[in-house]
Amino acid sequence: MLTIRDIAAKAGVSVSTASRALNNNPRISVATRKRIQALAAAEGYRPNYNAKNLTAGEANAVGVVFPTSDRNSTDNPFYIDLLRGINTELMKRQYVLSVAISKTAAELLENVKAMVAQGKIKRFVLLYVHQDDPIAAFLREKQLHFVTIGEPIDGNDDYFVDNDNLEAGIGGASFLLDQLAVKHPVFVESGHEWGYERQRRQGYERVAAQFNVEPLTCKLHDLEYVRSFIEHHPEIDGIMATDDFNAIEFYRLVRERYAVSHFPVVSYNHSLPTGLTDADLHSVNLFPEKMGSATVSLLFGDRQDKTATPRKQIRIPYEIK
Amino acid sequence: MLTIRDIAAKAGVSVSTASRALNNNPRISVATRKRIQALAAAEGYRPNYNAKNLTAGEANAVGVVFPTSDRNSTDNPFYIDLLRGINTELMKRQYVLSVAISKTAAELLENVKAMVAQGKIKRFVLLYVHQDDPIAAFLREKQLHFVTIGEPIDGNDDYFVDNDNLEAGIGGASFLLDQLAVKHPVFVESGHEWGYERQRRQGYERVAAQFNVEPLTCKLHDLEYVRSFIEHHPEIDGIMATDDFNAIEFYRLVRERYAVSHFPVVSYNHSLPTGLTDADLHSVNLFPEKMGSATVSLLFGDRQDKTATPRKQIRIPYEIK
DNA sequence: CTGTTAGCGCCTTCAC
DNA sequence: GTGAAGGCGCTAACAG
């Protein structure tokens, strides 16, 4: 394995000069810096990060924490795209993505603690928002950087990346009522009262008021409930749902009762394969990969220019097509 | 931060004794070993893994590689549960899960190379099976351990964990034809020709032959195709699908055409919330978490007893309820 | 601008 | 059974 000594030797300089050159230390003349960097690249030198981390006292890793159970959470393609966005950005910084995931909250916390104590990881991403989360509390106490995906709900002033769900709700509802000319929309949500659902619903309600329509809402509790709901609301002529799965689930039940087709639907996340539903489905793209890259830039305290105060939150815009 | 020197000092022994005691080295008397371990635990000592890794020349991390794009792949809850299974097992070994994930194949390979060269990671899990995969080739060339999720298709004798998809196909079909008494089943698959789909189909065909029924198959190409298929096959009275999403998709289209309910359905992965379909849905549980833990035991060369030859593959059984 | 030296925390030869 | 010393690869004082 090629070490920095080898590079130093081949370049005819001392190890420390090589080290400084490779780290772009201004104390080394630009000429030798370039020369040594070129040499290292040519020889295929790769620094040993265990050694770097040992001296730095900090690992080149970001801990990404999954919620304990996501069976009821926002859907999964979203997570995967988010991971992709995060990791692409981390690679540029020569960082690695480590995940903490477990079935039990206790084990998960232990996982994070091990990352901190044994792994010297100092930056984390929480892929969820919980009330009084012990992991967030631990990270705060240890004064470590972390960013949550989704706006905090417990009043803590944490860094976060989110969509503007209120705006997305307004946009989606406007699209449904205006472009798709729906007169009797229904808002379909999971029944878990997630923050993003509430916010999108508020957007929906606001637009409904503008259009003078009654803001009808249905939670997907169970089959009987929804069937009965649909039975009592034959007037429904369009769906706005908090995600694609809720949308097709409800639509399926509508079709079961009434002979409709090309039914106007607006939902979120862009997570279905196309062509397999006859609904006129417009899924709002929330750009999870962009959220991932924004997360990283928040995590590392990027700023537009030096004078700008660092931001604590980033909202990613949406797109309806 | 508590280092091994602190422990050594408090125990009144030298650093090397402390090190050996903590690593359960038999050269240290059992008594002092216990004593020092107890002390370390009481003081909350945690070894610095960057230092350990530096001397060991190998990181306490496993690289988990995601496919470039999984939009068309097996569904995602499966991945998440798999990750959970892998990580739970890794934690026991004081290992960390690092992920490689990217949109492009080139960047993904670069990601893995960096993990190897800079991170000293020597063990990998590939969450996919590809023909002539450059990443698998790289890992083979470097003689690193890796396990694929799914049986290799290119004739390479790699380690893998999989379900017994043929058996699961036979089991699922038997359940549908026997227990659920279906006379005119249809086999629904994605059209991507994944290995597991082919194998389950073979199981289905075998059972169909036993029951003297025509092995009907439908690929979910596009809406028109499937609708026409359903139109031409009014006799269908039960569905066997390669996963839950394919199942409900097809079922929706059946219901759209015919007034059925409590339709018998067998599919795989157990990935839907219950209560929101009126199909008589029996989803085969493939125990992704178990697959994860089996993956790790393969990766670390566990054996039942010392004399047993190491296994290169593990098949996880299924369950139908 | 560059070289020498010490040390990050831990493990492991080599002595006793 | 235990200790002292050196080194893993790299960075950061301290010199010059």
pLDDT digits (tens, 9 = 90+) for A193-217: 888 899 999 999 999 999 999 999 9
Distance A91 CA to D11 C1' (A): 22
In Å, what is the separation between the CA of A27 and the C1' of D16? 15
Higher pLDDT, A95 or B156: A95
Is the CB atom of residue A120 positioned under 7 angstroms from any atom of strand D?
A: no
Tell whether the model's pLDDT for residue A71 goes beyond 60.
no
Distance from first CA to last CA of chain B, Å, rounded?
Answer: 52
Residue numbers of chain B with a pLDDT score lower than 50? 74
Give the model confidence (pLDDT) of A169-182 as tens digits.
999 999 999 999 99
* pLDDT level of residue A47 (50, 70, 90 thresholds): very high
Ramachandran class of B320: left when φ > 0, alpha when ψ lies in -120 to 50, beta otherwise:
beta
Nearest C-alpha of chain B: how many angstroms from A23? 15
Residues 6 or more apart whose Cβ sits within 8 Å of residue A58:
A120, A121, A122
A263-285 tens-digit pLDDT: 999 999 887 766 667 789 999 99
Which protein residue has its CA closest to C1' of D11? A55
What residues of chain A lie within 8 A of the CB of B72, using their CB? 273
Cα separation of the two ends of chain A: 52
Chain C, protein-covered positions (CB within 7 A): 1-5, 7-13
Q: Which domains does chain A have, with CATH numbers?
A: 4-47 (1.10.260.40), 61-157+289-316 (3.40.50.2300), 165-285 (3.40.50.2300)
Interface test with A, best of B118, B230, B258, B261 (most A CBs within 10 A): B118
Q: Which of A1, A82, A86, A87 to mutate: most B Cβ within 10 Å?
A: A87
Please list every residue in chain B whose beta carbon sits closer than 8 Å to the beta carbon of residue A117. Answer: 46
Query: For residue B70, which residues of chain A lie inside 8 Å, CB to CB?
Result: 77, 80
Between CA B227 and CA B236, with CA B232 as vertex, the angle to 5 degrees is 90
**Separation CA B86–CA B88 (nearest Å):** 6
What are A146's two structure tokens? 């972390």
Q: What is the pLDDT of residue A190?
A: 87
Confidence (pLDDT) at B310: 65
Could you identify the residue whose CA is nearest to the C1' atom of nucleotide D13? Answer: A16
Cβ within 8 Å, pair A223-B277: yes
**Distance of C1' in D3 from CA in A110, Å:** 35
Model confidence at A296: pLDDT above 60: yes
Q: Which of A80, A91, A94 sits opposite B107 (nearest CB)?
A: A91
Can you list the positions of beta strands (E) in chain A?
61-65, 96-100, 123-126, 145-149, 159-163, 185-189, 216-219, 238-241, 264-268, 280-284, 313-316
* Nearest DNA or RNA nucleotide to B30 (CA to C1'): D1
Distance D4 C1' – A226 CA (angstroms): 77
> Which residues of chain B neighbour A99 with C-beta distances below 8 Å?
83, 87, 97-99
Which chain B residues have a beta carbon less than 8 Å from that of A100?
Answer: 87
Quote the CA–CA distance of A12 and A258 in Å, as a whole number: 82
CA A110 to chain centre: 23
Q: Closest protein residue to C1 using CA and C1' atoms?
A: A28
The pTM of this model reads: 0.92
Residue of B nearest to A45 (CA): B117
The reported pLDDT for the residue numbered B74 is 46
At residue B70, the pLDDT reads: 59
- Assign A306 a pLDDT band (cuts: 50, 70, 90): low
Closest CB from B80, B83, B117 relative to A46: B117
Helix (H, G, I), strand (E, B) or coil at A2: coil
What residues contact residue A190 under an 8 Å CB cut-off, 6+ apart? A72, A197, A219, A220, A242, A243, A246
Interface test with B, best of A107, A118, A271 (most B CBs within 10 A): A118
User: Mapping DSSP to helix (H, G, I), strand (E, B) and coil, where does residue A238 land?
Assistant: strand
**CB A88 to CB B100 under 8 A?**
no
Question: What is the structure's pLDDT at B71?
Answer: 56
* Contact flag B91-A101 (C-beta cutoff 8 Å): no
C-alpha to C-alpha distance for A278 and B72, rounded to whole angstroms = 20
- Protein-contacted positions of strand D (CB under 7 Å): 1-5, 7-13
| pLDDT tens figures, A185-194 | 999 998 888 8
Q: What percent of chain A has pLDDT over 70?
A: 94
Nearest CA in chain A to B279: A223
Any atom of strand D under 7 A from CB of A57? no
The reply to whether B57 has its C-beta less than 7 Å from any atom of strand D is: yes
Say if the Cβ atoms of A101 and B120 lie within 8 Å.
no
Q: Inter-chain contact B276–A102, Cβ cutoff 8 Å? A: no
Cross-chain Cβ contact B111/A91 below 8 Å: yes
Q: Give the model's pLDDT for residue B212.
A: 93
Q: What integer pLDDT is reported at residue A76 of this predicted model? A: 66
Q: Which residues fall inside 7 Å of strand C, measured at CB? A: A 12-17, 20, 27-29, 32, 51, 54-55, 57; B 1, 3-5, 15-16, 19-20, 22-23, 47-48, 51-52, 54-56
* Chain segment A108-157, per-residue pLDDT in tens: 999 999 999 999 999 999 999 999 999 999 999 999 999 999 999 888 89
Distance CA A5, CA A47 (A): 11
pLDDT tens-digit series, residues B92-119: 999 999 999 999 999 999 999 999 999 9
Tens of pLDDT, residues A280-294: 999 999 999 999 999
What is the Cα–Cα distance from A128 to A110, expressed in whole angstroms? 18
Indicate the residue of B54, B79, B100 with minimum beta-carbon distance to A50.
Answer: B54
- Which 8-state DSSP code applies to residue A311? P
Answer for the pair B283, B244: CB distance below 8 angstroms, yes or no: yes
pLDDT over 90 (residue A79) = no
